[in-house]
A and B are shown apart, each in its own frame.
Chain A
Amino acid sequence: MRRWAVASMVAVGVMLAGWMARAETLVADLSSHLIAITTGFTGTEVVLFGAVEQPGDIAVVVTGPRADVVVRRKARTVGIWLNRDSLAFQQVPGFYMLATNRPLDRLLPEPVLERHEIGLNNMALVPSHKATLERPGAEIAEYREALIRNKQKLELYPTALGQVAFLGQHLFRTNVYFPANVPTGVYTVSVYLIRDGDVVSAQTTPLVVSKVGFSAEIFEFAQRQSLVYGLAAVMGAITAGWLAGAVFRRV
């Protein structure tokens, strides 16, 4: 571990020296910085494009808003399956996607991937403090796997590695797909420029996923004035029921 830390420190030093010698220019941007969830939202695709001055490899990581996640494990109890055990993870990204222009193992050595949290296996998932002391590592790993598996099932952690395509030596692009159930909030899109087994430059761009229009208004109403919203829902239902009864009385 320590040796790696020293090595990486040296690497950072070398990188900084290189940086000063010739600035690694990397520019990237998104086709849209706002994903609007409207009433007809069924998922959407955002194009990320960019350019590099000197040829190199590119990795793109899209991370969704973070929230605590509880993973529960079922066990058979008196014949039925009940949630018996659970483990909470802190600050889990609501969305995680990785796109690269070549397979991960040919891109960067493990420690560098870990340092930059590139790839689902290297994503930092921190269990709550108590759990780390009390539970064996294998068990935590199992919960971690289950968390990722469930997120993948929801399409929030795409299983397939995204493709970064180079157009010539300098221009690159990739498509990021957001399914209909994307969590709302601020996303970070990180672009890494990679050369000789290390990250030589990086750029981060924000992306906002937000409910807009009718669905946003309903959501805001329900959250901010929940009692009034409830009253409105009841009044609406009474009116609708009354109307239905009156209309169909004639038919």
Chain B
Amino acid sequence: MQVYLPIAEMTVNAVLVLAMGGLVGFLSGLFGVGGGFLMTPLLIFIGVPPAVAVGTQANQLVAASVSGVLAHWRRQNVDVKMGVVMMIGGNVGTALGVWLFGILQDLGQIDVVISLFYVVILGSVGGLMLVESARALWRVRRAGPSRRKLHQHIWIHGLPFKMRFPRSKLYVSALAPLGIGVVGGVLVAIMGIGGGFLLVPAMIYLLGMPTALVAGTSLFQIIFTTATATLLQAATNHTVDVLLALLLLVGGVIGAQFGTRVSSRLRGEWVRLLLALVVVAVAGKLAVDMILTPDDLYSITTREPS
């Protein structure tokens, strides 16, 4: 069934888009991440303009993180205070990112910047995850889990404006969650991802938050940054396609249910190793595309008659 997308101005196969949403939803349910990092490249691959892919993805992620946060909320696994501080930074970052996006689009460099962000960030995070999970698997085979130090003192703890976060039992500088939020916000606007896979490790290793609270709190924060990104992209760049978002959402919700079920049967280390492999593969594919000589050195952009 063919559907004409009014904002992307192209016809897509609805079944294909639903299936893509389902596949990414399955993986996000399996790995417990938003899956935006897979969806944006897939959308660009089927011919959706990068700007529309990123804007629409932000809209779809609002829904995905709302449904995701509900489960955590019921179990009280959300540190609202921490989430709000991160959200303030997140909104600043999103605004910054949307503004940058517009400039880069005018310069004709947005495609390569999106690719570069993916390669650098996915490549490094995926690589670290790969090493970490492989090491964890190796350790499990050889001996029992080693005990980690309870509290490590790093440069983060030297920052001013300290604030108490009772839910996380932390006393850290407000600048740290604020800064993490800013980075997350920029990623939402430029890459069309929630940034969970970057926020989660940052919250664990940099802030020292309890692992149980991390997923819920990052999702809580992502709702607001993706909502801001949707609003700004819609208002300034007109790049949010609600019809495309709806198709992705339906596929994603169904896929996520299956993913969650399979996930409960797999061991944590294996899940992380698989996720790391997928992330590294996506980054590798994009890196190769940037290095290989393109079929046509020339590309065209039609300027909107103003």
Contact = CB atoms under 8 A, between A and B. Distances in A.
Interface of A: 37-43, 67-76, 79-83, 86, 88, 92, 94, 143, 146-147, 149-151, 153, 180-181, 183, 211, 214-216, 218-219, 222-223, 226-227, 229-234, 236-238, 240-242, 244-246, 248-249, 251
Contacts of B140: none
Question: Closest 7 interchain pairs by CB?
Answer: A241-B66, A230-B234, A146-B298, A241-B63, A245-B67, A237-B62, A180-B11
A231 B219 CA distance: 20
Contacts, number: 188
6 contacts: A70-B108, A72-B108, A81-B297, A149-B298, A150-B298, A227-B234
A233 B230 contact: yes
B242 interface: yes
Nearest to B9: A181
A237 B194 CA distance: 14
A227 B236 CA distance: 9
B211 interface: no
Contact of A230 (B11, B64, B231, B299): B231
A68 B234 contact: no
Given A70-B300, A150-B299, A234-B62, A226 B257 contact: no
Contacts of B301: 69-70, 72
A74 B2 contact: no
Given A81-B294, A223-B238, A237-B249, A68 B6 contact: no
Contacts of B172: none
Which one of A218, A230, A240 has the greatest number of beta carbons of chain B within 10 Å? A230
Contact of A234 (B9, B11, B230, B249): B230
Given A39-B3, A41-B4, A72-B298, 9 more contacts: A69-B301, A74-B299, A79-B291, A150-B300, A233-B242, A236-B242, A237-B60, A237-B62, A238-B223
A222 B240 contact: yes
Contact of B2 (A40, A71, A72): A40
Contacts of B263: none
Interface string B104-132: 00001100100010000000000000000
Main secondary structure of the interface of B (DSSP, over half): helix
Contacts of B70: 241-242, 245-246, 249
Interface of B: 2-7, 9-11, 59-60, 62-68, 70-71, 108-109, 112, 116, 223, 227, 230-236, 238, 240, 242-243, 245-246, 249, 253, 257, 290-291, 293-294, 296-305
Contacts of B65: 241
Given A38-B4, A233-B240, A70 B298 contact: no
B108 A83 contact: yes
A71 B59 contact: no
B193 to A, nearest CB: 16
B235 A230 contact: yes
A150 B296 contact: yes
Contacts of A143: 298
Contacts of A226: 234-236, 238
B4 A180 contact: yes
A80 B291 contact: yes
A68 B302 CA distance: 6
B52 to A, nearest CB: 11
Contacts of B236: 226
Contacts of A245: 66-68, 70-71
A83 B104 CA distance: 11
Nearest to B295: A153
A73 B235 contact: no
A125 to B, nearest CB: 12
Nearest to A153: B296
Contact of B242 (A42, A73, A183, A218): A218
A67 B67 contact: no
Nearest to A70: B301
B6 A71 contact: no
B2 A181 contact: no
Given A41-B11, A242-B66, A227 B303 contact: no
B67 A71 contact: no
B112 A82 contact: yes
A149 B290 CA distance: 22
Nearest to B71: A245
A50 to B, nearest CB: 31
A226 B233 CA distance: 9
